[in-house]
Chain A
Amino acid sequence: MKKLLLGLFCLFLLSSAQASELKPWKGATTPPLALKDLKGKAHKLEDYRGKVVMVQFWATWCPPCLKEMPAMQRLEKKMAGKPFVILAVNMGETNKDVSDFVKKMNINFTVLMDEEGDGVGAWKVFVAPSTFLLDPQGNIRHTLQGGAEWDEPVYVKAISELLPSR
């Protein structure tokens, strides 16, 4: 029992410690991203030049992904009217599974389907969720591994600082 409680406590500490931190990007150029959404419409990263883009890799089987979805919805609302877009890239699930989930969660942001894992491979995603923040020129500026409360000031500030100046 003592072991179990210690384990649960450690898990709690681990999840708190992962209250995730944005890391400045020091890598190479932005990989390509060309995927279809749930309705079959093709999206390319270049289509979003001039906007701050949040590219997030997620799956319905990933608890932290589900946990952060409402915060992403709130973030999108907070950023309404600003050149900001969320592209949530689903990792290899079926269109039906994801459509059902999107309907149930009432998700409004764009969900892209990476059925063959091309995006996962090109963007080197090893953990779900993994998030990339891109500036209006299409350069990756920050990454974040694990879930986050995306509408918290620290993230809103980081995203706002990437917005194009008027």
Chain B
Amino acid sequence: MAFFRLVTLGLALLFSLGTAFAASPSSLSLSTGTEVSLRTYPAQGNTLLIWFVCDEGHSANEARTAGVLASYGYETWFPDMLDAHFLPILPSSLEKIPPDEIKEIIAQAIKLSGKKVVLITAGHGATPILRGAKAWQDEASEQDRSALAGALLFYPDLYSVSPAPGVEAQYHPIVTQTRLPLFIYQGHLSPGRWWLEHLKVEFARGGTKVKSKILPKVRSHFYVRLDATPAENAMAEQLPELVLDALNQLEIKP
């Protein structure tokens, strides 16, 4: 009798897990004709992180982080946008991703998962991701809009043109158009740290209040660098905690 109870319980558990994880697709078909493959780290919470990584070759830290986050109930999807567009493994490649495709990925993710969504990206990925977020918000109804809960940006590069020495930096218009809770991590060893407050003021002009933290002893791209210093490797080890802390500060629960 006890054996049957155990088997029944086991089957029920397997079934419930299967149901909970069934919503994670292995790819997304976009209306542009682009087929985007996904790596997914399912979890049972109500928050889905869509993490746009700058490559798949060096993303071991992101993948490990997603595994840890899943144990906290945060599901993560990694859409492989570079492969979908045959783009080289470069941080700047994310810049070439059509914002409309980001919009569609957000829409499909919300629909398929039924969860609220948080976007994560780094460097040059910030502009297309925020543009995609805005495009999605523009089309979403007032009551659906809260499904996009925020974005976490690592060392974002939001310049419309590469800033020349001595010349006032021009930010992409999306900075003042964004209406989304944001958290920014900026490396201490980067000129960007001197301009973080300036960037936050620009976001505030559009109505977005940004929370941020300067990470000591690291450069930009610290968790994907081939020439990472011991301090950068140590910070990369803490990537799950960094993401959790940012989500916590944005008051986004699993």
Contacts and interface: CB of A to CB of B under 8 A. Distances in A.
Contacts of A128: 191
B142 interface: no
A132 B166 contact: yes
B57 A125 contact: no
B90 A10 contact: yes
B166 A120 contact: no
A126 B90 contact: no
Contacts, number: 77
Nearest to A129: B165
B195 interface: yes
B164 A117 contact: no
Interface string B77-115: 000001100001110000000000000000000000000
A143 B165 CA distance: 6
Contact of B159 (A14, A126, A131): A126
A145 B163 CA distance: 9
Interface of A: 3-4, 6-7, 9-11, 14, 23, 25, 27, 31, 57, 59, 61, 63, 91-92, 117, 120-121, 123-128, 130-132, 140, 143-145
A120 B55 contact: no
A23 B164 contact: yes
B88 A10 contact: yes
Interface residues of B, number: 25
Interface of B: 55-57, 82-83, 88-90, 159, 162-169, 189, 191-195, 219, 227
B166 A61 contact: no
Given A27-B166, A120-B194, A126-B195, 18 more contacts: A3-B56, A3-B83, A3-B88, A3-B89, A4-B57, A10-B88, A14-B90, A59-B189, A91-B194, A120-B191, A124-B166, A125-B166, A126-B191, A127-B162, A128-B191, A140-B166, A145-B162, A145-B165
B234 to A, nearest CB: 15
B165 A91 contact: no
Given A7-B57, A25-B166, A123-B165, A91 B89 contact: no
Enumerate the 4 nearest inter-chain pairs by beta-carbon distance, A residue then B residue, closest first: A7-B89, A130-B165, A126-B163, A61-B189
Of B55, B89, B159, which is in contact with the most chain A CB atoms at under 10 Å from its CB? Answer: B89
Nearest to A128: B191
Nearest to A117: B194
Contacts of B193: 92
B171 to A, nearest CB: 11
